[in-house]
Amino acid sequence: MSGEANGLTVDLKAAIERDHVGDVGVPAGAELLAFTNAVELDQGDIDATRTALAEVIGQQATLEAAAIIAIFNGLVRWPCTSCSADSGRKLVALSRE
């Protein structure tokens, strides 16, 4: 769901900034960001951030957040800083040959 469609002003720049701590404009944003940073970037204690998140959004939603993080970890990421959509298609085509 789009933040705009839900009447939220989401700070996307802050959400993807490695060192940002705090709210980004979504409900439980600070807790979600802290948990994600603990898991993905080894910034903080995973157990403590998971517990803090569960206190705000509940156990089921915390489980869903963890599942989303796991899904992103499963994605293949090309080490490319200036890849275009065309170069991505070429890489996929080359890997299938």
For residues 41 and 91, which has the higher predicted lDDT (pLDDT)? 41
Q: Is the pTM of this model over 0.85?
A: no
Residues 6+ apart with CB under 8 A from 8: 25, 26
Angstrom CA distances, 67 to 16, 25, 60, stand at: 19, 22, 11
pLDDT digits (tens, 9 = 90+) for 31-66: 998 998 899 888 899 999 999 999 999 999 999 999
Give the residue extent of every domain in the chain. 12-96
Q: Minimum mean pLDDT among 5-9, 15-19, 32-36, 39-43: which range? A: 15-19
The pLDDT score that the predictor gives to residue 5 is 78
- Residues 33/34/36/42 CA torsion (nearest 10 deg): 140
For residues 85 and 64, which has the higher predicted lDDT (pLDDT)? 64
The pLDDT score that the predictor gives to residue 81 is 56
